[in-house]
Each structure stands twice: as C-alpha cells, then as structure tokens.
C-alpha cells in the first residue's frame, strides 16, 4: 500500500528491506541544506536575516492529470542567477555563494561562473560582505573564502594560471567554518572575526 505522497507504508518497507552495509561517511546533509538550516536558526534567534535566492524560472508547459497533481513538463531559466544567498547582518549586506566539491586537492574554478564573479565584484565595490563557502566533502570541512581572495585566482586562470584553487591555499587563506548544532555552518562567527 502506498500513501498519497507515493511512499510505502512502514510495515511493507520493513518486510521488503534489503540489508545494507551502514556507512557513516557523508551521512550529513548537503552544504546547501546545512546552510538553509543554519539560516533558519539565525532568523529564529533574530541574529541575521539571510535567505536563499530563488532561481528565476519561466514555466512553459504544465500537465494537469488532476487538479492536485500538476506536473511541470517544460521550463527555462529566465536569466542567469547571481549568488546563492543574501541578507543583512549587524547592518551590513551579506552575499555569498555555496559550493561543494569531492575533489581532495583543489577547488575547480569551473564551479563558479563569470556572471557570479561580476556580481561579487559589485557587492564588494559597494562595501557589502561577500564570500564563498567551499565544502571539501572528502574531508568534511567547510571554508569561508572572502571574495577579495577569490578574485586573483579567477583572474589568473585567464593569464595561463591554474584553473583551480589548491586545497592548501583555501585552508591557509580561508577560515574553517565552525560546525555545531543548531548552527551547522556557523559562518556568522567567521564574519564577526573578520569584519566586526
């Protein structure tokens, strides 16, 4: 028997359960989910107001098999998005991008897009706090890397430079973000340390 949401009842799932080897690596949520939960905690405690920016999408074709089950069949991005998150903290505008990589030795710059870099430059020019959060999934480490430190790496790749930022450079020039509950990615602690 399935529930209306498509999930099987727990008794049926338990009977048909296939034995799996339990693994504890990467059992946490993705970086985005961790940040969303942290931001909710920040809003709940009135520490900061920071939200994930919605991606602007133009819906073109929708299938209505029944009124309560509309299915989007075709949609397009209206425009290139800027960064993932923005908001305000202690009177300062906050704007950042979140990236996760399984690469152990470097962060590929191909994970960031030119329009995002242009947006970040504008934020910095207007004295906003702008950065990227980079999670190295293999090490379960998340780093706060200020946009001002990102720009030279970005520019260098177009002048025969590396197309990635070495892990060691991010570790040395960034700040590892504290992980604890309920602020799973407590980047405000790093902002306090660097800016206030």
pLDDT at 56: 63
Within a 10 A sphere around the Cβ of 105, how many other Cβ atoms?
11
Return the structure tokens found at 110.
């191909």
pLDDT at 21: 41
Tell whether residue 169 is among the known ligand binding residues.
no
Place of tokens 């299915």: 71
Strands (E), the chain: 49-52, 57-63, 71-77, 85-89, 92-101, 106-108, 129-136, 141-146, 164-166, 175-176
pTM: predicted TM-score of the whole model, two decimal places: 0.75
Tell whether residue 82 is among the known ligand binding residues.
yes
Q: Tell me, which fold does domain 24-54+80-195 have in CATH?
A: Trna Endonuclease; Chain: A, domain 1 (3.40.1350)
Alpha-carbon gap, residue 24 to 85, rounded angstroms: 29
pLDDT at 17: 43
pLDDT at 12: 43
Alpha helix positions (H), the chain: 10-15, 31-44, 114-125, 147-156, 167-173, 187-195
Alpha-carbon gap, residue 137 to 147, rounded angstroms: 21
pLDDT at 79: 59
pLDDT at 169: 97
Return the structure tokens found at 104.
């152990």
Alpha-carbon gap, residue 174 to 145, rounded angstroms: 5
Going residue by residue through the chain, which has 196 residues, state the pLDDT in tens, using 9 for 90 and above.
444 444 444 444 444 443 444 333 333 359 999 999 999 999 999 999 999 987 666 677 778 777 777 777 776 665 567 898 999 999 999 999 999 999 999 999 999 999 999 999 999 999 999 999 999 999 999 999 999 999 999 999 999 889 999 999 999 999 999 888 888 999 999 999 999 9
pLDDT at 25: 39
* Domain layout of the chain by residue ranges: 24-54+80-195
Tell whether residue 184 is among the known ligand binding residues.
no
pLDDT at 74: 75
């Amino acid at each position: 028997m399935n529930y209306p949401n498509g999930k099987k009842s727990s008794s049926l799932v338990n009977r048909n359960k296939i034995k799996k080897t339990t693994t504890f690596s990467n059992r946490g949520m993705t970086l985005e989910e961790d940040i969303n939960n942290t931001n909710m905690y920040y809003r709940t405690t009135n520490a900061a107001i920071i939200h994930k920016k919605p991606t602007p999408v133009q819906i073109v074709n929708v299938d209505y098999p029944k009124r309560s089950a509309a299915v989007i069949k075709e949609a397009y991005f209206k425009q290139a998005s800027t960064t993932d998150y923005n908001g305000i903290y202690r009177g300062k505008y906050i704007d950042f991008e979140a990236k996760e990589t399984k690469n152990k030795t470097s962060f590929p710059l191909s994970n960031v897009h030119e329009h995002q870099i242009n947006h970040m430059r504008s934020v910095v020019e207007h004295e906003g706090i702008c950065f990227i959060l980079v999670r190295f999934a293999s090490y379960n480490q998340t780093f706060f890397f200020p946009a001002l430190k990102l720009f030279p790496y970005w520019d260098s790749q177009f002048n025969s430079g590396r197309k990635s930022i070495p892990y060691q450079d991010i570790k040395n020039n960034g700040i590892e973000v504290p992980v604890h509950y309920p602020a799973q990615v407590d980047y405000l602690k790093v902002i306090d340390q660097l800016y206030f």
